[in-house]
Amino acid sequence: MEVKLAPKIKKNLLFGYSAIRSANFTLQASVLPLVQWLATRKKRDLPKSFSEHFRQTLPKLQSLLLKDSENISNNIYPVEVLLPESPVAHVLRLPVIIVDAFAAAKRREKKETKEFQERLMDLVEETPEYYKRNFHFQTNGYFGEDSAKIYDHQVEVLFSGTADAMRRLIIPRLKKHFNNDDGLGKHFLEIGCGTGSLTRFIALAFPKAKITCVDLSSSYLKVASQRLKKFDRINYLQGAAESLSLKSETFDAVFSCFLFHELPKAVRLQVIHEGKRLLRPGGFYGLVDSIQKDDDVSLNWALEQFPMDYHEPFYKDYIQNSIESLFKEAGLKSIESEFGFFAKVVTGVA
Ligand SMILES: C[S@@+](CC[C@H](N)C(=O)[O-])C[C@H]1O[C@@H](n2cnc3c(N)ncnc32)[C@H](O)[C@@H]1O
């Protein structure tokens, strides 16, 4: 009896921790409308039935966190994924985030989407046109190290502390594909790795796998490599996911997280083709990203609201063109999808 109860108790404890973490980020998010008002003297337009939407989304948030806790208690990934950062670092970042939210609100008001510091212009010049912008109206877009240092915290504020749990939706899929092994002899490629949040979870879940991380931003890669320095199995490569100078059929898995909604449609397909080229036959292709239109009809309102609040020029097209059909078009097989809160994980086999 006791043995049977243990995983349940573990799951409930983990869920309790995640719920408190989520409440902390939700509280931080509640300050942002005031920051926006101070910056613009304008009240943010909320959807009319905001409280009804909130009541609708809360159970979905809870079920994502419960599933995540269950995955940990079932040893699909280790409890270290929940290890909190130093509370001092967390608290010291808050004023920086508020100052950045103020600057972003000003940029949103002026519809300013291409504002970079002079010192970063060489980095900006060498990237594709679609990338040269202040995604989310964030300071210096993806080009500055300052932006990289607050990015993950900002994403957790945006998603009420569920972003990491959404990222982890892909791990059970990878584990299933590799028969629950530890990644020994396997080489994974993560594209658009950003500051390495998902990379860290994958490195913990597959303690023997080698991982190559790609991103267009050298600043984000720098922060990722500092953050993940204890893992000597990870290497970093600056480049565009749609054309990588890597040998064909090199990797056992290619995956990304929150990358595709920031790409123009044609580039989305090129990225999948490029990933497929790099996969060994039978290799795993997967991504986590925003749900798309009608994946969950009750959340369609949020998909319409998101590109109004944040600079996300490709999002409207992204939600209308199913990732599953792009996977099919690229010739991937055994395509499957699963949803969790605002995210979907789509997987296929080369
Ligand atoms: C929304 S962020 C997601 C970062 C990270 N994967 C996460 O889970 O938070 C998108 C990332 O993709 C990178 N990116 C955008 N377009 C890219 C491309 N064509 N090739 C490689 N990286 C790209 C950006 O620099 C950024 O780090």
Pocket test for ligand 1, best of 159, 216, 274 (most atoms within 8 A of CB): 216
Specify the pTM.
0.94
Instruction: Work out which ligand 1 atom sits closest to the CA atom of 220.
Output: 27
Percent share of the chain, pLDDT over 90: 78
Q: In Å, what is the CA distance from 262 to each residue of 91, 198, 286, 311, 324?
A: 29, 17, 16, 10, 17
Which pLDDT belongs to residue 234? 98
C-alpha 180/C-alpha 303 separation (Å) is: 34
Provide the pLDDT for residue 27: 95
Phi, psi of 231 (to 5 degrees): -95, 110
| pLDDT (0 to 100) of residue 45 | 64
> Beta partners for 284?
253, 349
Across 196-219, average pLDDT: 98
For residue 3, pLDDT beyond 60: no
Q: Higher confidence at residue 284 or residue 123?
A: 284
Closest C-alpha to ligand 1, atom 11: 192
Q: d(Cα 335, Cα 349) in Å, to the nearest integer? A: 7
Quick one: pLDDT at residue 2?
A: 46
Rounded to a whole number of angstroms, the CA Rg of the chain reads 20
Ligand 1: centre distance to CA 52 (Å)? 33
Does 49 score more than 90 pLDDT?
no
pLDDT in tens, 223-267: 999 999 999 999 999 999 999 999 999 999 999 999 999 999 999
3-state SS track over 225-247:
HHHCCCCCCEEEEECECCECCCC
Which tokens sit at 101?
A: 């939210």
Residue 347 burial (CB count, 10 A): 23
Look at residue 207 and tell me whether its pLDDT is greater than 60: yes
Residues in the ligand 1 pocket, defined by CB under 6 Å: 131, 142, 155, 167, 191-194, 197-198, 214-217, 220, 240-242, 257-259, 262
Q: What is the whole-number distance in angstroms between the Cα of residue 199 and the centre of ligand 1?
A: 12
The pLDDT of residue 310: 85
| Digit-coded pLDDT (tens) for 92-109 | 999 999 999 999 988 888
**Alpha carbon distance, N-terminus to C-terminus of the chain:** 44
Ligand 1: residue of 131, 137, 215 to mutate (most ligand atoms within 8 A of CB) is 215
172: which 2 tokens? 């059970």
- Type and span of the H or E element at 323: helix 323-329
pLDDT at 44 over 80: no
pLDDT given at position 47: 61
Host H or E run for residue 347 = strand 343-349
Say yes or no to pLDDT of 43 above 70: yes
What does the pLDDT average to over 25-36? 91
CATH numbers and ranges of domains, the chain: 163-349 (3.40.50.150)
Q: Which of 243, 330, 248 is nearest to 285 (CA)?
A: 330
Phi-psi region of 196 (alpha: psi -120 to 50; beta: other; left: phi over 0): left
Mean pLDDT of the chain: 93
Predicted pLDDT of residue 219: 95
- Asked if 243 and 191 count as a contact pair (C-beta separation under 8 A), the reply is no
How much is the pLDDT for 189? 98
